[in-house]
Structure 1
Amino acid sequence: MNTWTAAWTASPQLPSTGFTPNWSQEGFSDHTLRQIVRVTAAGDQLRIRLSNAYGTAPLHISGATVGHSAGGAAVTGARPVTFGGRTTAAVGAHGQLTSDPVDLPVARLDAVTVTLQLTGTTGPATFHAQGFTDTFRADGDQLADTTGEPFTEHTQSWYYLAGIDVSGADRTDAVVLFGDSITDGFGSTPNADHRYSDALAALTDRPVLNAGIGGNLVLNDSAWYGERSSARFHRDALDLPGVSTVVLLEGLNDLGYSEAHDQPTYKPAPVVTAEQLIAGYRTLIRQAHARGVRIVGATVLPFKGTTHWGHHSAKTGAEVNDWIRESGEFDAVVDFHRLLADPADPDVLNPAYAYEDGLHPNDAGYRVMAEAVAPLL
């Protein structure tokens, strides 16, 4: 029997407008969809996981292949993907489907191309908004194409593809990075694999899985930014095959959304206390420990001068960070707040590590984060 290890993942979201243009609300109709992801575990076989978590009708797959990326939408060595021995499949409304094993050897950090043929009309699509990697589509049946030339449209989101698992991996003790847009990689260079998860994958031989959702909250659901952390923690982290460690970096949006009064997508944005946010962290700690999974707590990064900053969020954020550092309830702690602070003001993100909004790190900041986490694994 195969032992499977998650090698790549993306957390499913409701169809929404998102941060950049995407196809989630319009869905697909007689399209071929081609997506490129980078796996963080080697294996001699792989399987794909498809999610229709937010679909209200079955998703019909007319065909699928997986191969090695040859740059852009081009692919080499493509193999057919089957589901229960069939080349077609239906993913039930609100459901997930895992493919049969595919004999396609992959190395760590290989770029893998997954192509889905969607002959019918899908309706709004379960997706992951912030992929920071081009996804391509073409009209009609282009499943057999290897050149990529028919794939003239692209966005930077992922659709229906929730994960890739491998068998035969050298390491099966995967690390999940769980959080919001900082974990997701906002501010990193698109199509360059410069997220903090990418940097960490280059520093360790363990599989590294990115379970960030931009805008996500610890305590509240959001139609734009996903279900609250405790509602998605099992699906997006603990249930992934091979997971042994979670790094939790979340809470900035709970602190800051109530300070930004002109952002309708931030609603609901109740004013939360340190005690409420700590209770949310404790829920995740209990869930992880109940599964025998180690959980590393990360302090909230400096955010003074951003849309999330105000008297209440500043005070509460300091209290929460002190608790993360001093409570001893996490199995280990990484202090991103101190590590990425401006030497001239500890509440400001160091300009050397800051994206233009002052809220998110840049590529250099994400590398520093990864370097701090790697020794704790």
Structure 2
Amino acid sequence: MNGRYGRGCRLAAALLTVAACQAGPARAVLHPPGAPGRPSGVLTWAASAERMGAGVAGAQYRMIVHTSVGGSAPRIRFTNAFGDRPLTLDHVYAGLRARGAALRPGGNHALTFGGAHRVTVPAGSVAWSDPLPGRVPAGADLAVSLRTPEAGGPASGHELALQTSYTGLGGDLTAEDGGAHWTRTTGAWWYVDAVAVRPDRPATGAVAALGDSLTDGRQSTADRNRRWPDYLARRLHTAGGAVQGVADEGISGDKLLADSAGDGAGQSILHRLDRDVLSQPGVRTVVLFAGVNDLKAHTGVTAAELIAGYRRLAHRAHAAHLCVVAATISPFKGWPEWDRDAEAVRREVNHYLRTRGEFDAVTDFDRTLRDPHDPERLRPRYDGGDHLHPGDRGMRALADSLDLKRLDCAR
């Protein structure tokens, strides 16, 4: 498994990678690991794509993303996964941020796609940039700037970024190092869903944290990188082991089993596994923390159905030679949709996760977060205030509870 990250892209000619999906966002399927179109390297940042509002022609975005593992030759993936028409991007730049919307002087570099400064991404597809020169350190803010000269219909991005990014209209702002003209802010990431680097040690791998709003970081402090995957990234960097990268592939409102209609959450975790995990470079391990939205949706989901979903995901990940770490479902009594039936299913699923041994490891997030005096509730010091989502201290407790040695296995 340790040599697997470098098998990715085998394209003989153009560096441009446009990974085609099936038509329509609800059936998006990308290349599996090791197939042509999956670049070499390892993820240093990622955020699962969602259907956003309508794209705006001529808009300019400067997105701020936070790296987990350092490396050279960064490449950036742009997504039109939910588009219903081609998306054209030009004037695309990237560089390390200094402060606010400003970049380090002289550090803003033009991105190319197969040598061209303009790329058109088909509907339901993604495009990887050519590698940039230079190095990106771990724990740094990377600013990705782009313009959409031709855009319309549903945009693709990530709604709950918990990170201030910037927008602008008029002129050509993306090449500027300074931030004076980036006067508007956005709390979402637009069109960018992954960054990969060539790690300093070739055997370096990444963890994909796959889940819902508890992984997405809701109730953690914005602009401080305090989601549990962020805390995990800092632990892994300090430990200096073979797994260094962390990709936060959580989407607020997402379910394990069912696609969501009309509430913005979109594809289920099982539905987006290929795009968000199996097609990504260097992913060695999946940490699956999901199920609470299936329980509180009052659709009558049973423990047997959830368990079958866990098994399907593990089978697909194992077939791709990935390790799977399953997390128990944390308590949510006090949330308006909690009831005794949901609690009974939660306990049955957690018992299965703890006892059946069908995963490479199990992390007991329920035990970490629950109140010892009322195990159906979050511990008050970890509660972000709504009795479902942990705050900063709870997020850190989740990351601290993971056994780092179990995040890699021989597959």
User: What's the TM-score, normalizing by structure 1?
Assistant: 0.92
Is 2:91–2:175's contact at 8 Å kept on the other side of the alignment?
Answer: no
8 Å CA contact 2:42, 2:281 repeated in 1: yes
Partner of 1:37 in structure 2? 65
Does the 8 Å contact 1:69/1:75 carry over to 2? Answer: yes
Q: Distance in 1 between matches of 2:338 and 2:289?
A: 18
SS at match of 1:204: helix
**CA deviations over 1:45-84 (Å, ceiling 9, x no partner):** 1111001011111111121001001111111201110011
Range that drifts further, 338-347 or 244-253? 338-347
What is the CA–CA distance in structure 2 between the aligned matches of 1:236 and 1:243, rounded to whole Å? 10
CA offsets, 1:81-124, max 9 Å, x none?
00110111111111111111111311111110100022334333
What do the CA deviations read for 1:313-346 (whole angstroms, capped 9, x no partner)?
Answer: 0111111111111111111111111111112101
Q: Which residue of 2 aligns with 1:349?
A: 378
Q: Which structure 2 segments of 5+ residues have no match?
A: 1-9, 11-38, 238-243
Counterpart selection for 2:327 from 275, 278, 298: 298
Shift of 1:222: 1.2
CA separation in 2, counterparts of 1:227 and 1:169?
35
CA contact (8 A) 1:48 1:99 kept: yes
SS of match in other structure, 1:130? coil
2:208 is matched with 176
> Take 2:369 and 2:229, find their aligned partners in 1: how far apart are those partners?
17
Q: Residue 164 of structure 1: which of 164, 172, 195 is its match?
A: 195
- Cα distance in 1 between the residues matched to 2:403 and 2:277: 19
Mapped partners of 1:39, 1:253: distance in 2? 28
2:245 maps to which residue?
A: 207
Tell me: CA distance 1:168–1:305, structure 2 relative to 1, closer, same or farther (3 Å): closer
The residue identity in structure 2 corresponding to 1:113 is A
2:174 match: 143
Residue matched to 1:70: 98
Partner residue in 1 for 2:13? none
Cα distance, 1:179 vs. partner? Answer: 0.4
Distance 1:356 1:149 in 2: 36
Alpha-carbon offset, residue 374 of structure 1: 4.1
- Contact residue 203 and residue 374 of structure 1 kept, 8 A: no
Amino acid at match of 1:178: L
Out of 26-35 and 37-46, give the one that drifted further. Answer: 26-35
| Contact 1:41-1:169 within 8 A present in 2 as well | no
1:365 aligned residue (375, 380, 394): 394
Match of 1:217 among 250, 255, 259: 255
Would you say the 8 A contact 1:204–1:374 is kept in 2? no
Instruction: Tell me if the contact between 1:36 and 1:134 (Cα under 8 Å) persists in the aligned partners.
Output: yes
Amino acid at match of 2:303: A
The one-letter amino acid of 2:229's match is S
Residues 212-244 of structure 1 show CA distances to partners (whole Å, capped at 9, x for unaligned) of 011111110014112111111121112211111
Equivalenced residue count is: 357
**1:184-203 equivalence runs, <5 A:** 184-203=216-235
Within 5 A, what are the aligned runs for 1:35-184?
Answer: 35-76=63-104, 77-140=107-170, 141-170=172-201, 172-184=204-216
In 2, the alpha carbon distance for the partners of 1:32 and 1:102 equals 21
Name the structure 2 match of 1:20.
none
CA distance in 1, matches of 2:403, 2:140: 21
Q: Deviations over 1:242-275 (max 9, x none)?
A: 11111100000000111xxxxxxxxxxx210000
- Please report how far the alpha carbon of residue 308 of structure 1 lies from its aligned counterpart in structure 2 after TM superposition: 3.0
Q: Which residue of 2 aligns with 1:335?
A: 364
Partner of 1:21: none
Residue 263 of structure 1 corresponds to which residue in structure 2?
none
Please list every run of 5 or more consecutive structure 1 residues that lacks an aligned counterpart in the other structure: 16-24, 259-269
TM-score by length of 2: 0.84
Q: Is the 8 A contact 2:334 2:386 kept in 1?
A: no
Distance 2:375 2:197 in 1: 42
- Contact 2:110-2:175 within 8 A present in 1 as well: no
CA–CA separation in structure 2 for the residues paired with 1:152 and 1:97:
28
The CA deviation string for residues 289-322 of structure 1, in whole angstroms up to 9 with x for no partner, is 1011110110011111112310210111111111
Provide the aligned C-alpha RMSD in A.
1.4
Quick one: distance in 2 between partners of 1:373 and 1:176? 14
Counterparts of 1:226 and 1:330, CA distance in 2: 27
1:127 CA drift (Å) = 1.2
Which position in structure 2 is the counterpart of 1:13?
50
Q: Which amino acid is 1:337 matched to? A: D
Cα deviation, residue 281, structure 1: 0.4
Q: Does 1:323 align with 2:323?
A: no
Q: Match of 1:248?
A: 288
CA distance in 2, matches of 1:39, 1:337: 28
